[in-house]
């Protein structure tokens, strides 16, 4: 396993954040929250992509160069905001 906070804390945090963002997006896709099929598929695909890259970096990656996409964490935040907005809009409409 490549996660070692003593040797490479930035890399380790990056892998954990990728995995966390991936899990959150997959959960949002599974729950739906009143989102359309397209948004659920988008959440699911990006979630699986994030989880896959985190798995690769944590278990398969053997060193060398890797791509650090900190801008990629903007996408999960935007998808989460859209999920909550849709969920709250649906609840207020049903009340």
Rounded to two decimals, the pTM is 0.78
Answer yes or no: is 41 within a domain. yes
pLDDT of residue 69: 77
Higher per-residue pLDDT: 24 or 6: 24
Task: Check if the beta carbon of residue 86 is closer than 8 Å to that of residue 35.
Answer: yes
Answer yes or no: is 48 within a domain. yes
Over residues 53-85, the pLDDT tens digits come to: 999 999 999 888 877 877 778 888 888 888 888
Task: Check if the beta carbon of residue 61 is closer than 8 Å to that of residue 2.
Answer: yes
Q: Name the most confidently modeled range: 17-26, 33-42, 66-75.
A: 17-26
Answer yes or no: is 51 within a domain. yes
Domain that holds residue 25: 9-94
Which letter, b or e, does each residue of 42-78 get, where b requires 16 or more Cβ atoms within 10 Å of its Cβ?
Answer: bbbebbeebbebbeebbeeeeeeeeeeeeebeebbee
Quote the mean pLDDT of the chain: 86
pLDDT of residue 95: 63
- What's the domain count of the chain? 1
């Amino acid at each position: 396993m490549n996660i070692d906070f003593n040797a490479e804390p930035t890399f380790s945090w990056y892998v954990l954040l990728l995995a966390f963002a991936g899990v959150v997006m997959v959960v949002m896709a599974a729950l739906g929250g009143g989102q359309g099929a397209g948004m659920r598929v988008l959440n699911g695909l990006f979630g699986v992509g994030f989880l896959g890259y985190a798995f690769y970096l944590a278990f398969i990656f053997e060193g060398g160069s890797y791509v650090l996409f900190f801008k990629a964490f903007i996408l999960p935040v935007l998808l989460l905001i859209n999920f909550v907005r849709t969920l709250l809009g649906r609840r207020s409409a049903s009340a």
